[in-house]
């Protein structure tokens, strides 16, 4: 007999019907949790006589209550640490992943709930800022736009330099009057920390950075390769090859240094075929809407910057961003300290790329605070004639960087926007008081040097302190006050933010590269097809499609002439494929290049049909991507025709009429206009080239009546106020009148072409031909 039978009977009571007792924890795989109640046993599940389940030692009510308490506490902790969590998950907020998160996030505006308990003035301030600066999705889309443009534009470049967009636009802030800032990084030189970093054999000129104790933030760039008895290195500027010492360097004692002035002068020759203005270290166009800074890059951070990478800070910037900045290095801009009137050896350290990375890591509140600081400078500080131009946006950026690093990242919430602004203002006032603004990367460098000192800081302090004393009410009154015409001083952009984003894109693409290397164009086509697969935003996908269509238009002009005898079928098949893709760029330019193709292949009736179609689409309410300013009439028409759910590509094909650009030696230019593309590209308005092609077709098919009528239409167009590229238009008129036998009128139009601001290069040649008979 089993000695344990008594105990077995006791424990088998619950197993009377052949079922083993199964605990709740076994069924659901839940781990034990601390239980503070008085019950002795854990919950049990067993089968009842009717086949149901019986729960013994029921503590589910208590379990649910505990779960709710733990879950609520978790939500509260998550809310308190929300910005820290988002920063940890998305350190780079200009990434496609973060943009996708914003688009899919259903509670991205949860901070608005806190406004109920706060001062309604905070809500008013924030709402008006969002109307001017844009929503967070608008900001991230702008940042993403410039990232993509840099990728595609550099893929098209044929020179030995890399273009990087910089400034407030590339940072994501599009305020009225913002110009386009670009940096061209020379790839001809290597800049290193010390001689030990030299990689042998030396392939390019190598410079070593020498820091200056008296001027923190500035370095001398010394050629070390030449000193080490290396062969004399050669640099090509695209025209001639010249020895570096004769062109870009200066001797100081027995050492050879890169010359600041010579470096700038070497780039003036080929940047624009028009007047150039020197603006600090930048070269600007005549309207000063574009600033291009030519600089050098080092993959190494200077020794003076290395402490920045490891100094004590809170949660910002994320380690991911710090590592990216370390890996990128720094730039050298050809300008010396403001306190030195004549300097040709000191180069300023530039952290434009690093600063852009930092701003791209800002959360929405940090970015709004940045915009609020810039608006305060523009609308309050700079309206005082005694302190105007003492402060600049860069000082405000430094202020926000320091405050962001010193404060907890969760301080930057929408409900605390004015508090964050006040922290920055307090720090700025403390700096002005001691006339010292520490550079964020090199604290020893005084950014106020040469601008703010004891002679002018008192009056600036009074202006800043008045802003401080005015509080949020004073800030709102000064920033959002009504002017005499009942319009807000700062125009809101709510309701049509997608239009402002489109027009920003149209402004940027006017300075795009036009390569004559067909392999570069094919590279861009392949690149756009690859990038578009990872882009979740409808807008950024449209940017990729635009560059795909634009590359197709360029390829179609770089192919062998369509009348080539060998492989005519294969060549024409390529033409049709690329020209069809090119029609997706805008409403007119692609179709006009197609019409040019049919013209040069002798299919005049098809050309007439296509030009008739284009002219039927050229209504006065069409906008132009080359417009310098945002025309309110065109914006209104744009808004009436389009909506945000359409792709950028579709919007452009409906509402944008681009000028037609014929590349140098374009295979699609009519034979009669070959001289116009002999030396350079030829840009002409869509309505002008449409009418010109119709004139040429009527001339070839012998329809003299329609030819004369078209010529009169062309003359009428040339008198329109909205005419662009006047010199090119007058030159075309001269060609058409010359074909008609009116050489005196042709000569008159060539003269008019030479009197325009941007002169057509072929006008003088054609006028001389007429004079020489």
Q: 603: domain CATH number?
A: 1.25.40
User: pLDDT value at position 361?
Assistant: 94
Domain assignment present for residue 595? The answer is: yes
Phi/psi-derived region of residue 456, left when phi > 0, alpha when psi is between -120 and 50, beta in every other case: alpha
Domain assignment present for residue 526? The answer is: no
Domain assignment present for residue 111? The answer is: no
**Residue with structure tokens 């470049």?**
157
Chosen domain end from 337, 361, 385: 361
> Which stretches of the chain drop beneath a pLDDT of 50?
1-17, 30, 35, 108-116, 227-247, 272, 482-495, 628-629
Distances (CA, A) of 767 to 275, 732, 749: 25, 12, 9
Number of domains in the chain: 2
Strands 277-279 and 282-284: antiparallel
Domain assignment present for residue 742? The answer is: yes
Q: What is the DSSP string of 556-624?
A: HHHSPPTT-STTHHHHHHHHHHHHHHHTTSSSSHHHHHHHHHHHHTT-HHHHHHHHHHHHHH--TT-B-
Domain assignment present for residue 5? The answer is: no
Residues in Cβ contact with 20 at an 8 Å cutoff, skipping those fewer than 6 apart: none
Contacts 24+ apart (CB under 8 A), 12-18: 14/44, 14/46, 17/47, 17/49
Nearest to 349 by CA among 448, 250, 245, 215: 215
User: pLDDT value at position 8?
Assistant: 43
Task: Give the Cα separation of 297 and 277 in Å (integer).
Answer: 24
User: pLDDT value at position 492?
Assistant: 45
Domain assignment present for residue 584? The answer is: yes
Domain assignment of residue 678, given as a range: 578-772
Chosen domain end from 343, 361, 379: 361
* Residue 39 CA to its chain's centroid (Å): 65
Chosen domain end from 339, 361, 383: 361
Residue 44's H or E segment, with its range, is strand 44-47
Q: Is 21 exposed, middle or buried (0-12, 13-18, 19+ CB in 10 A)?
A: middle
User: pLDDT value at position 42?
Assistant: 58
């Amino acid at each position: 007999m089993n000695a344990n039978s008594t105990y077995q009977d006791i424990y088998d009571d619950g197993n009377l019907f052949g079922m083993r007792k199964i605990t709740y924890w076994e069924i659901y795989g839940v781990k034990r949790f601390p239980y503070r109640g008085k019950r002795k046993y854990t919950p049990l599940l067993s089968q009842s006589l009717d086949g149901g389940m019986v729960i013994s030692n029921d503590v589910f009510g208590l379990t649910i209550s505990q779960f709710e308490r733990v879950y609520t506490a978790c939500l509260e902790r998550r809310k308190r640490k929300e910005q820290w969590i988002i920063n940890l998950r998305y350190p780079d907020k200009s990434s496609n992943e973060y943009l996708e998160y914003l688009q899919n996030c259903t509670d991205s505006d949860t901070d608005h709930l806190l406004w109920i308990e706060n001062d309604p003035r905070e809500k008013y301030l924030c709402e008006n800022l969002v109307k001017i600066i844009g929503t967070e999705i608008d900001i991230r889309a702008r940042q993403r736009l410039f990232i993509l443009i840099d990728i595609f534009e550099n893929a098209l470049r044929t020179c030995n330099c890399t273009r990087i967009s910089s400034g407030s636009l590339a940072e994501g802030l599009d305020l009225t009057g913002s110009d386009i800032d670009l940096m061209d990084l020379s790839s001809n030189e290597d800049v290193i920390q010390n001689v030990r970093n030299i990689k042998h054999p030396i392939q390019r000129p190598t410079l070593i950075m020498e820091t200056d104790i008296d001027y923190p933030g500035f370095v001398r760039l010394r050629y070390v390769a030449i000193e080490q008895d290396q062969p004399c290195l050669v640099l090509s500027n695209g025209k001639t090859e010249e020895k570096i010492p004769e062109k870009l360097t200066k001797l100081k004692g027995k050492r050879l240094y890169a010359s600041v002035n010579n470096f700038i002068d070497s780039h003036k020759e080929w940047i624009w075929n028009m007047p150039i203005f020197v603006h600090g270290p930048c070269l600007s166009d005549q309207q000063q809407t574009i600033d291009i800074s030519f600089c050098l890059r080092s993959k190494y951070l200077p020794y003076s910057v290395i402490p920045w990478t490891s100094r004590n800070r809170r949660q910002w910037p994320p380690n991911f961003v710090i590592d990216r900045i370390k890996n990128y290095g720094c730039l050298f801009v050809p300008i010396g300290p403001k306190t030195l009137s004549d300097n040709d050896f000191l180069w300023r350290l530039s952290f434009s790329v690093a600063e852009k990375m930092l701003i791209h890591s800002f959360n929405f509140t940090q970015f709004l605070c940045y915009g609020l600081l810039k608006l305060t400078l523009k609308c309050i500080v700079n309206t005082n004639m005694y302190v105007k131009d003492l402060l600049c946006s860069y000082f405000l950026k430094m202020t926000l960087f320091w405050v962001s690093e010193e404060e907890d990242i969760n301080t930057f919430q929408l409900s605390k926007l004015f508090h964050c602004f006040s922290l920055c203002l307090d720090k700025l006032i403390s700096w002005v008081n001691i006339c010292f603004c520490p550079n964020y990367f090199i604290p020893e460098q005084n950014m106020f040097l040469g601008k703010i000192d004891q002679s002018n800081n008192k009056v600036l302090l009074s202006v800043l302190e008045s802003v401080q004393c005015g509080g949020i009410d004073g800030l709102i009154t000064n920033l959002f006050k009504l002017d005499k015409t009942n319009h807000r001083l700062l125009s809101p952009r709510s309701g049509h933010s997608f239009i402002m984003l489109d027009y920003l894109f149209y402004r940027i693409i006017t300075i795009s590269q036009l390569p004559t290397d067909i392999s570069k164009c094919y590279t861009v086509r392949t690149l756009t097809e690859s990038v578009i697969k990872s882009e979740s935003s409808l807008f950024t996908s449209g940017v990729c499609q635009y560059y795909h269509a634009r590359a197709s238009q360029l390829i179609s002009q770089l192919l062998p002439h369509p009348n080539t005898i060998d492989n005519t079928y294969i060549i024409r098949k390529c033409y049709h494929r690329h020209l069809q893709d090119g029609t997706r760029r805008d409403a007119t330019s692609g179709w006009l290049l197609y019409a040019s193709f049919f013209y040069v292949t002798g299919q005049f009736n098809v050309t007439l049909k296509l030009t008739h179609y284009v002219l039927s689409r050229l209504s006065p309410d069409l906008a132009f991507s080359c417009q310098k300013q945002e025309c309110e009439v065109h914006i209104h028409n744009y808004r009436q025709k389009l909506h945000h759910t359409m792709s950028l590509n579709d919007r452009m094909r409906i509402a944008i009429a681009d000028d037609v650009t014929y590349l140098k030696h374009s295979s699609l230019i009519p034979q009669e206009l070959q001289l116009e593309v002999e030396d350079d590209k030829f840009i002409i308005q869509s309505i002008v080239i449409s009418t010109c092609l119709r004139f040429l077709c009527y001339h070839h098919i012998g329809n003299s009546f329609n030819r004369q009528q078209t010529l009169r239409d062309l003359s009428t167009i040339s008198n329109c106020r909205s005419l662009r590229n006047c010199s090119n238009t007058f030159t075309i008129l001269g060609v058409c009148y010359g074909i008609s036998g009116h050489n005196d009128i042709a000569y008159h139009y060539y003269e008019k072409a030479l009197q325009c601001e941007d002169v057509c290069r072929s006008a003088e040649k054609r006028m001389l031909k007429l004079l020489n008979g």
